[in-house]
Amino acid sequence: MKAIVVPVKDPVNSKTRLSGLLSPEARQRLAIVMFADVARALSGVRRANSVFIVSNYVPACEQARLLGFEILLERAQHSESASVDWASRELEDRGYDEVMRLPADIPLVNAEDIDRLLEISPGRPGTLMVPSRDGTGTNSIIRTPPTLFQSHFGPDSLRLHTEEARRLGVDPVIVASERIGLDIDEPGDLAALLECGGGTQTAAFISESGIARAVMSARSKRR
């Protein structure tokens, strides 16, 4: 069985790397609308047996239940890696043999992007990884079994995950995906989203809130 795991932070604690550009309130709202875009994509996925939201943020859990997703309720949030690894252990115990981690801040993703990855067999044991836009992060990862190796989300995670896999004799499958590869962490990511994010709640929020003007102003000053 295949499951998708999406860890969702309390938005109060999210997107701190955008603090030089956005107010705390704007960062919180950005996190919320990005999750809405990701949830929309997940609602159309056909290749997964279940979608799990891993969180202790009540509004996200309530929204997930309305969409038919399942909830793994955390007592506390320590790190993205800890959340994903705890969820993976739980799901393996429930009989899932393949788990995809998908982040909540990739607003361009659509259901076809996700299904396309789930159609690829990474082997058993095996792993598939989607790099971040800059080629250093891991924006999505599939592991079979789900607890094949521990997570290292954060700086240089693609290299760290690749090393973990190869220590086990597993050659990871690396698949580029433009939409999954764009996670929103820094001002440059917002600028990239503005160039191709039409039709998403996130792009609409950025434009209507005035964030787009701030992003373009900051970009022109750096030139």
- Rounded to whole angstroms, how far apart are CA atoms 152 and 138? 9
pTM over 0.85: yes
Question: What does the radius of gyration of the chain's CA atoms come to, in whole angstroms?
Answer: 17
**151 contacts 84 by C-beta, under 8 angstroms:** yes
Instruction: Encode pLDDT of 59-85 as tens digits.
Output: 999 999 999 999 999 988 889 999 999
φ/ψ bin of 184: left (φ > 0), alpha (ψ from -120 to 50), beta (otherwise): beta
83: tokens are: 């959340």
For the segment(s) 2-183, the CATH number from 2.60.40.1120, 3.90.550.10, 3.30.70.260, 3.30.465.10 is: 3.90.550.10
pLDDT in tens, 81-98: 999 999 999 999 999 999
How much is the pLDDT for 117? 98
Backbone angles phi, psi at 129, to 5 degrees: -130, 140
Task: Inform me whether the pLDDT recorded for 221 exceeds 80.
Answer: no
> What are the pLDDT digits (tens) for 1-23?
999 999 999 988 788 888 888 88
Could you report the per-residue pLDDT of 102-142, keeping only the tens digit for each?
999 999 999 999 999 999 999 999 999 999 999 999 999 99
